[in-house]
């Protein structure tokens, strides 16, 4: 069963609780395959394996100054969907940045969940390409190579999304508020527990709406280790699109796009039903009408606390018909 958690206190509590772990990646596969990649990255690990792999990621990022990425992004002519991967691949020492940029999208497409056979096959080929490009001739440790690929996938999915959102809304801050690129992350309960007064059984999946909780980069102890780098790349990319901004301005993070006219949609929001709303009015969640013929076993959704305001409402969405939630958040990618 899947349970959607939106209340900020509950989201933070689950992220900090070792009884809730990332969704298992499945059995490992041969080196250079998607199954191998999922089983070897920090993203899907917990316990000692996660600590070891996260340390690898942190060491890689510590060797790359965010200011270097900011300046590189400000100089890059690449489109928003490529700039993050390109500047990070160059900083990681990839000899063929173009080949890395081309190989990452098929991997990102099935990174969080298995895809169709054709998509998995394309991703396997792309992972093998990335291993060859990132290992080099020095024989870099396989686990380090896997987590370099993981960094690039996160750069493509999350940082690339932030670049697009910031460009659309005029600044990094406005982009994060209006269209957070990482909407949610998942955890699996290893034991029976309670979350915000709701019973959770061992094996249940919790969909944590980290955007609603105000945690665009996740929460402790697995907060995104590349937060400063992602923000730097986005600021540099905005400088490139602002036209004429200097690298020095980009390095100081002072560049934003010219503000849009109010009529272009600044400050707009959308309810779950797609209805436009004003952010000053506030929207109280409502229980949706029951599905025809599905009242007994279909997806259900109800508040676990009094929904006196959007911030205090915690909604649970469950399904016993196929294990998929009918009201999941907009995006389920995460770098945590």
Question: Rounded mean pLDDT of 324-335?
Answer: 40
Burial class (CB in 10 A: 0-12, 13-18, 19+), 27: exposed
Contact yes or no for 256/242 (Cβ under 8 A):
yes
Q: Comparing 175 with 332, which gets the higher pLDDT?
A: 175
In 3D, which of 230, 44, 233 has the Cα closest to residue 150?
44
pLDDT digits (tens, 9 = 90+) for 304-318: 333 333 333 333 443
| Boundaries of every domain in the chain | 2-318
Beta strands in the chain (DSSP E): 2-5, 20-21, 185-189, 193-195, 198-200, 205-208, 269-270, 276-277, 300-303, 315-318
Whose tokens are 């007994």? That residue is 296
pLDDT per position as a tens digit, 153-187: 999 999 999 999 999 999 999 999 999 989 999 99
Question: Do 334 and 185 meet the contact criterion of CB atoms below 8 Å apart?
Answer: yes
Torsion of CA 4, 5, 11, 17, to 10 degrees: -60
Q: Which fold has domain 2-318?
A: Cytochrome p450 (1.10.630)
Helix (H) / strand (E) element for 40: namely helix 34-40
Q: Which tokens hold the place of 158?
A: 């999350």
Q: How far apart are CA 174 and CA 165, in angstroms?
A: 8
Using a 10 angstrom Cβ sphere, with 0-12 exposed, 13-18 middle and 19 or more buried, the burial of residue 229 is: buried
**How far is the C-alpha of 102 from the C-alpha of 132, rounded, in Å?**
14
Residue 262 binned pLDDT confidence (cut-offs 50, 70, 90): very low
pLDDT in tens, 62-72: 999 999 999 99
- pTM of the entire predicted model: 0.74
How many other β-carbons are positioned within 10 Å of the β-carbon of residue 138? 6
Average pLDDT over residues 140-150: 94
């Amino acid at each position: 069963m899947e349970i959607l958690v939106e209340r900020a206190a509950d989201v933070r509590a689950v992220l900090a609780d070792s009884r809730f772990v990332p969704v298992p990646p499945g059995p490992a596969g041969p080196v250079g395959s998607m199954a191998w990649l999922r089983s070897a990255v920090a993203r899907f690990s917990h316990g000692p394996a996660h600590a070891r792999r996260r340390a690898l990621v942190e060491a890689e990022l510590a060797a790359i100054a965010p200011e270097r990425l900011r300046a590189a992004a400000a100089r890059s002519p690449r489109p928003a969907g490529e700039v993050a991967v390109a500047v990070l691949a160059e900083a990681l020492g990839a000899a063929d940045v173009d080949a890395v940029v081309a190989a990452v999208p098929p991997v990102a497409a099935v990174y969080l969940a298995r895809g169709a056979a054709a998509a998995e096959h394309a991703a396997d080929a792309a992972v093998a390409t990335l291993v060859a490009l990132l290992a080099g001739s020095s024989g870099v440790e396989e686990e380090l190579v896997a987590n370099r690929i993981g960094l690039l996938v996160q750069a493509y999915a999350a940082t690339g999304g932030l670049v697009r959102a910031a460009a659309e809304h005029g600044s990094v801050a406005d982009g994060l508020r209006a269209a957070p690129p990482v909407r949610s992350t998942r955890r699996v309960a290893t034991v029976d527990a309670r979350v915000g007064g709701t019973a959770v059984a061992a094996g249940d999946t919790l969909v944590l709406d980290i955007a609603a909780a105000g945690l665009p980069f996740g929460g402790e102890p697995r907060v995104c280790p590349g937060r400063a780098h992602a923000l730097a790349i986005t600021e540099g990319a905005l400088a490139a699109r602002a036209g004429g901004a200097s690298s020095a301005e980009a390095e100081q993070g002072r560049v934003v796009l010219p503000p849009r006219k109010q009529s272009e949609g600044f400050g707009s929001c959308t309810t779950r039903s797609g209805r436009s709303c004003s952010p000053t009015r506030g929207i109280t969640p409502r229980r949706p009408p029951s599905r025809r013929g599905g009242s007994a076993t279909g997806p259900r959704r109800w508040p676990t606390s009094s929904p006196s305001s959007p911030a205090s409402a915690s909604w649970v969405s469950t399904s016993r018909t196929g294990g998929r939630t009918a009201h999941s958040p907009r995006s389920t990618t995460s770098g945590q």
